[in-house]
Amino acid sequence: MLADLIAGAGANLIAPAVLFFALGAFAGWLKSDLNVPDQVAKTLALYLMLCIGFKGGVEAAAAGLSAQMLSAGGLGLAMSFAAPFLAFSVLRWISKLDRATAAATAAHYGSVSVVTFAAASEYLRAIGVEFGGYMIAVLALMETPAILAALVIVGGRAQSGDLGVKPHLWREVLLNGAALMLVGSFIIGVLTGERGMTRLEVFVGPLFQGALCLFLLEMGLVVSRRMAAAPRLNLGLVGFALIWPVLGALTALACARFLGLSLGDATLMAVLAASASYIAAPAAMRMALPQADAGIYVSLSLGVTFPFNLLVGIPLYYALARIVWG
């Protein structure tokens, strides 16, 4: 296992996307004026959602509805909703976070990171491991339940009153732009299939890696600057952000093995369980729990867990999956 892990980590560390992330982090740490304009970053994010969703839809259409797809979807929904309750208890135990901040942080660790999923997908493709296109649908399913779970944890109340009568909150949660693009592109991919892929092959294929590199460069800049402004992070919180993803991945692998998922699908399920949202969850938590400390949950998910998964976690989860699958 150790040799496989070292080899996998080494291959991942020299991938262009990971190196561009490191470049961005280094530039941010040095306080360079290197910058990706906000509108460009948002455009890149939408482009990545379109590519990931569309390609997944085409692959899912080719594979058809299967027992594995239903099993993976059910597992993803269950884990996304249950994880915040456990994470909330752990966070309250190891730290002195207030209830709202702990619930908001827990929501991030029940939801998922699309970019981590994209990096894991590219890693599996690079080493020749096949996985089902329907895993894009599983990713989409795991975006929202964790956010709803956080609202249950705090009793459905934010500082300004009852969340149940604030339709704009549910609109933000259910119609988040990135999630809507992901789901919509997946459906379009399913409907158009190979015919659609023929027309968009260049747009969603060869250009994807370049866009991912530029987006991760921007993520590196954001991470380094967020971490520089995160004075409240302590050893317990950082430890949670590193250990919780591994525990989530192990749980997902055990469940995936029981359900009979393939090695590639199980690896991606582990990656999803280990990832932390920094797009959909922060947007929803800003509205739902305005009193929660965004400096905590954004810094942990984006500044600690995201780079850990990108640099070490992905090859680690694959190595663990290989052991479980024999």
Average pLDDT over residues 106-112: 93
Residue bearing the bigger pLDDT, 182 or 99: 99
In this prediction, residue 177 carries a pLDDT of 65
Reading the block at residue 225, the tokens are: 């600057």
- Which helix (H) or strand (E) segment is 292 a member of? none
Question: At residue 126, does pLDDT exceed 50?
Answer: yes
Q: What is the pLDDT of residue 258?
A: 95
| Beta carbons of 289 and 98 less than 8 angstroms apart | no
The percentage of the chain sitting over the pLDDT mark of 70, rounded to a whole number, equals 84
d(Cα 191, Cα 206) in Å, to the nearest integer? 22
Decide if pLDDT at 67 tops 90: no
Number of H helices, E strands in the chain: 17, 2
- Confidence at residue 239, expressed as pLDDT on a 0 to 100 scale: 95
Domain ranges for the chain, please list them: 2-325
More confident residue, 321 or 155: 321
pLDDT of residue 161: 44
Higher pLDDT, 89 or 287: 89
DSSP 299-310: IIIIIIIHHHII
**pLDDT band, very low/low/confident/very high, at 160 (cuts 50, 70, 90):** very low
pTM of the model: 0.78
pLDDT at 44 over 80: yes
Count of CB atoms within 10 A of residue 203's CB?
13
Beta strands in 109-215 (DSSP E): 157-158, 161-162
Asked whether residue 10 carries a pLDDT value surpassing 90, the answer given is: no
pLDDT tens by residue, 83-98: 999 999 999 999 888 8
Distance separating alpha carbons of residues 141 and 122, to the nearest angstrom: 21
Average pLDDT over residues 40-50: 83
Does domain 2-325 sit in CATH 1.20.950.20?
no
Share of the chain above pLDDT 90, in %: 32
